[in-house]
Amino acid sequence: MNSPRSLIRPLVRRLHAYVPGEQPKIKGLIKLNTNENPYPPSPRVLAAVKAAVDGRLRLYPNPTAQALREKLAKLHGCAPENIIVGNGSDEVLALAVRAFVEPKQKAESRKQKATVQYFTPSYSLYPVLADIHGAAKNVVSLKPDFGLPSVKELKRGKQWNFDAVLTFVTTPNAPSGRGYKTPELEQLCRAQKGVVVLDEAYVDFANENALKLALKFPHVLVARTFSKAYSLCFQRVGYFVGHPELIAALDKIRDSYNVNGLGQIAAAATLDDLKHYRANFKKIISTREWLSRELTKLGFRVLPSQTNFILAQPPKFPAKDWLQKLRDEKILVRWFSAPEVRDYLRITIGTRAEAQALVKAARKIVAE
């Protein structure tokens, strides 16, 4: 009899899976580690979801999330054919790899076109998606301040591949929180021959967005999610906006009922109550700026953020030690071991009370 291990594809055996942030069971812990929204969905969204929990659960949901795509199209000034909805934006990112990238063994040349390309640091799911698919990766560093290198600089650096079939850009960047200007993104898009995905998971907390590039260029897709700004991580709804031909290709390879029914209802109800959410963005941004100032006073080096988290270099002790010290104070933040960010903590912006508790704990640790 074959061992179970021998039944698994070598690629999968070797694979390092994506590591999600911890979802602790400990009571009373202030959870600032996974960039969730500290505020619940609006009362209208909760009511819509509750009202849908009935005998309908036995039925399949709308296979194309039609009503939601129509509302999104209206919001973004495009057609429903410009939009594909996924089980979180993670799903549409994965679909892009499957639709546009040949696995390694089929690639033609050394300077491979069949490459998934992205900057580092950025969203740690991209390498995992490439590895699952057996795709080649091209990983290029952002500038030391996490700025986007210009096309000129990328050409000079020679490592960037302008022919890559798929390029991911996290904008605003995660985990640095740095925002990018639409003209610099446009310059990069113009220079790329393959598909460019602008992953705008955090864009509602930023000064600007680049959605118009997805409607201007046939090879640009913008990814959005209801998880962060719209308090719907639990429901898993995200989407791409882009050219109808790219969208149709992605549509061909998704699961038939990829977006669950309650998720579709929650997301559609969210779009009917945007005023509520815009007030939340303002609160989160104001807490972000307050927290940045307070931590700076305590000796932290806080990078400017356009997101619902900050990247901050703590004083006195290594960042990894701070992770434990804050945990001892019942505050959970995130630390990444990657060399570019290992000196920093990534701190999700919670409520003002949570931010105050963090500052209080940090003050205590600094005084140790």
Ligand X SMILES: Cc1ncc(COP(=O)(O)O)c(C=O)c1O
User: Which residue is at the shortest CB distance from ligand X?
Assistant: 88
Please, which residue, 35 or 258, has the CB nearer to ligand X?
35
Interacting positions 58-77 with ligand X (CB under 6 A): none
225 counts as binding ligand X under rule CB under 6 A: yes
Quote the tokens at residue 246: 């790219």
179 counts as binding ligand X under rule CB under 6 A: no
Please, which residue, 161 or 225, has the CB nearer to ligand X?
225
Query: Which residue of 64, 89, 167, 280 would you call a contact of ligand X, by CB under 6 A?
Result: 89
Q: 252: closest CA among 116, 129, 84, 62?
A: 84
- How many Cβ atoms are within 10 Å of 156's Cβ, its own excluded? 11
Least Å distance, CB 109 to ligand X, is 30
> β-strands 115-120, 166-170: how paired?
parallel
Least Å distance, CB 157 to ligand X, is 23
Least Å distance, CB 105 to ligand X, is 28
18 counts as binding ligand X under rule CB under 6 A: no
Please, which residue, 71 or 334, has the CB nearer to ligand X?
334
Least Å distance, CB 53 to ligand X, is 22
Least Å distance, CB 90 to ligand X, is 3
| N-terminal to C-terminal alpha carbon distance within the chain | 60
161 counts as binding ligand X under rule CB under 6 A: no
Which amino acid is it at 239? Answer: Y
233 counts as binding ligand X under rule CB under 6 A: yes
201 counts as binding ligand X under rule CB under 6 A: yes
Query: Which residue of 36, 37, 83, 90 would you call a contact of ligand X, by CB under 6 A?
Result: 90
Please, which residue, 271 or 362, has the CB nearer to ligand X?
271
267 counts as binding ligand X under rule CB under 6 A: no
199 counts as binding ligand X under rule CB under 6 A: yes
Please, which residue, 80 or 88, has the CB nearer to ligand X?
88
Binding segment for ligand X among 24-32, 87-95, 262-270, 293-301 (CB under 6 A)? 87-95
Interacting positions 110-129 with ligand X (CB under 6 A): 123
238 counts as binding ligand X under rule CB under 6 A: yes
SS3 readout for the chain? CCCCHHHCCHHHHHCCCCCCCCCCCCCCCEECCCCCCCCCCCHHHHHHHHHCCCHHHHCCCCCCCHHHHHHHHHHHCCCHHHEEEECCHHHHHHHHHHHHCCCHHHCCCCCCCCEEEEEECCCCHHHHHHHHHCCEEEEEECCCCCCCCCHHHHHHHCCCCCCCCEEEEECCCCCCCCCCCHHHHHHHHHHCCCEEEEECCCHHHCCCCCHHHHHHCCCEEEEEECCCCCCCHHHCCEEEECCHHHHHHHHHHCCCCCCCHHHHHHHHHHHCCHHHHHHHHHHHHHHHHHHHHHHHHCCCEECCCCCCEEEEECCCCCHHHHHHHHHHCCEECECCCCCCCCCCEEEECCCHHHHHHHHHHHHHHHCC
Query: Which residue of 95, 99, 136, 174 would you call a contact of ligand X, by CB under 6 A?
Result: 174
Please, which residue, 35 or 112, has the CB nearer to ligand X?
35
Least Å distance, CB 129 to ligand X, is 11
294 counts as binding ligand X under rule CB under 6 A: no
- Site size toward ligand X, by CB under 6 A: 13
- How many Cβ atoms are within 10 Å of 12's Cβ, its own excluded? 11
Binding segment for ligand X among 225-233, 245-253, 259-267, 331-339 (CB under 6 A)? 225-233
User: Under the rule (CB under 6 A), what is the footprint of ligand X?
Assistant: 35, 88-90, 123, 170, 174, 199, 201, 225, 227, 233, 238
